[in-house]
Amino acid sequence: METLISQKPDVLVILPNEGGPLTPVAQKAMQAGIPVVNVDREFSTPAAYRTWIGGDNYGVGKAAADFIANELNCQGNVVEIQGIAGISVTELRTKGFTDGIKRCNGGIKIVASQPADFSPDKGLQVMETILQGQKKIDAVYTHDDDMAMGVIQAIKAANRDDEMFVTGAGGSKDAMNLIAQGGLYRATFLYNPSMSGSAVSIAKLIAEKKGLSDLVEPEVPSRIELPATTVTKENVAAVQNLGY
């Protein structure tokens, strides 16, 4: 980042692993007159970016809560497999979910909640441990489709796939294929990495001092949030082309 700033680019597009640690250097770029397009994992202050583009992480959690609550008629035990602990993506997906199940007035209980770092291998390990400790699980809310593949592997190995269902997030091709088949994997909530391509297009517009063509305003908005569309067996065929 320091090297890039010294080269004085017209715009910087940054997708940080964690927003917090890179916030000061992103602010330094902004103070040097270099607009920053922040992708997905948000910096700690809006002063660190010209435009943020990302998915609706709170909406992912809320959509998952609504789906699971409806499927379970607001009664059941749920496991939450989180992403990376402490980052905004994880915190918002958890908050959206916990807020969403409040309408069940305690009928849905989160019996285990643990991070698995968006990793399929870690998802497998974490779910194996949870399965040993929890004798009744009705649904598993995972923060990521790839991580969910490990979770599913653990559930099947324990011969408990008839007991529960799984939801993911992201919209991977593997997840969509499993949803289309029906069974254990019941739903995902879109959070497509195509936003990175859009971020590059936005950076170009900012450099050219242009706005979005269909908007009246001559400048790019400061925040662009993409919706968390619920994908189930009923509508998966319409969105499978978006799978990554």
CATH of residue 25's domain is 3.40.50.2300
Number of domains in the chain: 2
> What is the reported pLDDT for 215?
87
pLDDT of res. 14:
97
Under a CB-based contact definition with an 8 Å cutoff, are residues 185 and 179 in contact? yes
Pair (181, 171) in one structural domain: yes
Residues of the chain under the 50 pLDDT cut? none
25 and 91 share one domain? no
- Same structural domain for residues 130 and 91? yes
Q: What is the pLDDT of residue 41?
A: 86
Find tokens 């065929």 and name the residue: 237
Predicted pLDDT of residue 34: 98
Give me the pLDDT at residue 194, please. 79
**Domain co-membership, 129 together with 163:** yes
Q: Do 101 and 159 have their domain in common? A: yes
Q: Are residues 100 and 219 in the same domain?
A: no
Predicted pLDDT at 191:
87
* 13 plus 104 within the same structural domain: no
Same domain, 97 and 216: no
The predicted structure's pLDDT at residue 18: 85
**Do 67 and 113 share a domain, yes or no?**
yes
pLDDT at 208: 96
Q: What's the confidence (pLDDT) of residue 242? A: 79
pTM > 0.95: yes or no: no
- For position 236, what pLDDT does the model report? 95
- Alpha-carbon distance of 16 to 48, in angstroms, equals 12
Same domain membership, residue 186 and residue 87? yes
The whole domain housing 34 covers 2-49+193-226
